[in-house]
Amino acid sequence: MNAKIITIVGGGSTYTPGVVKAILSKKDTFPVKEIRAYDIDEERQNDVAIIVNEVVKAICPECKFFTTTDPKTAFENTNFVFAQIRVGKYAMREQDEKIALKHGAVGQETCGCGGLAYGLRTIYPMVEILDMVEKYAAPNHWILNYSNPAAIVALALKKLRPNARIINICDMPVAIMNSMADILHCDPHDIKPDYFGLNHFGWFTNIWVNGESRFAELKQHAMQHGYLCDVPDEQHWEPSWVHTYGNVKPMMERFPDYLPNTYLQYYLLSQDIVDDSNPDYTRANEVMDGREKTLFDAIKRYKETGAYDDGMFVVGAHGTFIVDLAESLCRENGGRYLLIVKNEGAIADLPDDAMVEIPCYVSPRGIEKISIGHIPTFYKGMIEQQYACEKCLVEGAMENSYNKVLQAFTLNKTIKSSTQAKAILDEMIIANKAYWPELK
């Protein structure tokens, strides 16, 4: 395999050191000659690069690493683009969460009205990235996109740039499967899931470990403990994640057919989530006081003392999943992954143009979707409502339509009424004035 060039978009992310470590940890099977970090926030990116440089020196000093704010420098002849942008940073995430909670609705990054707000901020910046990559990158490049909210972004990009060489992904199912592996005392790589849904809105319908179904065992555990186990997921150590993994228990008690994605708590337990939330201290605050503070405090110490602490970040599912996928796109036997792809009949009961999250085989030949067939009425109805919400939002962004966006907010299962939807939307328009398309 020829050594690759990888560009990380959102180079100032706290995830970047972990992604780079994951890349270089596979240098024997997935050689990389150059890693570029691209971000519009030069100061933040340069700070994060201090840690990334230490990672490169420790693992693969022959790999070239540099940062840039220039698109041509970032994307020229690159083979892979790993996109992880956060438009508006955590300050806007905090606004999203607190505005929603102020009005008695779920305040969350990618689900409910917070996810809709984040989607309106992210669609067109992602279009700009796709256009720059298309202009400068190697002809057979791939964009592997983590940028949230992935369901809305994937749907919008498929409409606006249908021929882009992009694969939209999410690490949450992988993180859940890591917990399943801890519960089952097996290697996560030995797990093969059956799964269907939209991103952050799906269900595991079977779990195979080395060809044997362990689904009944997992369901029994989830009925009693959710996805909590004796070995905590090191990426999700904060109290809110412990609560989230525990919330699988009531979802399973009520709807025991399939194992839910943890994000379904915001739709199936929305009132419980609101009641348990602190409107003055949300998940955004927890991240800023946790992962963000840990990394940037370490950067400050490094600047002052030159001391480098490898424990300031973790690789986790975020880093390993995207690198495994990139390697599979270069390896003849490839691999099997949950990806966000155009439905086109894979789930028989859903529209062909829906962007669904299902198992796929990946190889240098591209993506081969696994057919799901028909799904039960309850799950079909849930997905159709969420898809209609996301489609209205994308159309609202494309048409600059206030009415379409209001329809999206009203359709969302976390919103109680159009009165609540309008109050939240109108306040979010003011908060997002610098980021959203103008709605008329």
Catalytic amino acids?
171, 263
DSSP state of 234: G
Please provide the distance, in angstroms rounded to a whole number, between the alpha carbons at the two ends of the chain.
Answer: 51
* Kind of pairing between the strands at 80-83 and 4-9: parallel
Residues 413/270, Cβ–Cβ less than 8 Å: yes
Provide the strand spans (E) within 210-298.
212-213, 259-260
Q: Using an 8 Å Cβ cutoff, are 270 and 216 in contact? A: no
Cis, bond preceding 188 (omega within 30 deg of 0): no
* Paired tokens of 404: 């379409």
CA distance 355 to 353: 6
Question: Does the annotation place 283 within a ligand binding site?
Answer: yes
Residues 96 and 118: their CA atoms lie apart, in Å, by 8
> d(Cα 68, Cα 57) in Å, to the nearest integer?
19
Q: Helix or strand or coil: residue 342?
A: strand
Report CA-CA distances (Å) from 77 to 29, 133, 227: 21, 9, 43
Cα separations in angstroms, 359 against 180, 219, 310: 17, 20, 34
Per-position b or e across 70-88, b if 16+ CB within 10 A of its CB: ebeebbeebbbbbbbbbbb
Facing residues of 363 across strands? 366
CA 244 to chain centre: 16
DSSP run (H or E) holding 198: strand 191-198
Specify the amino acid at residue 387. Answer: Y
According to the annotation, is 200 in a ligand binding site?
yes
Identity of the residue numbered 297: D
Q: Is 93 annotated as a binding residue?
A: yes
C-alpha triplet 72, 11, 165: angle, nearest 5°: 60
Question: Is-contact 169 325, C-beta < 8 A?
Answer: yes
Amino acid (1-letter code) at residue 198: L
Locate 128 and state its tokens: 């700009």
Could you say which DSSP state residue 370 is in? P
List strands edge to edge, sheet with 335-342: 64-68, 32-38, 4-9, 80-83, 142-145, 166-168, 335-342, 355-363, 366-369
Bind-site residues for Mn(2+)? 170, 200
Bind-site residues for substrate? 93, 148, 283
Bind-site residues? 93, 148, 170, 200, 283
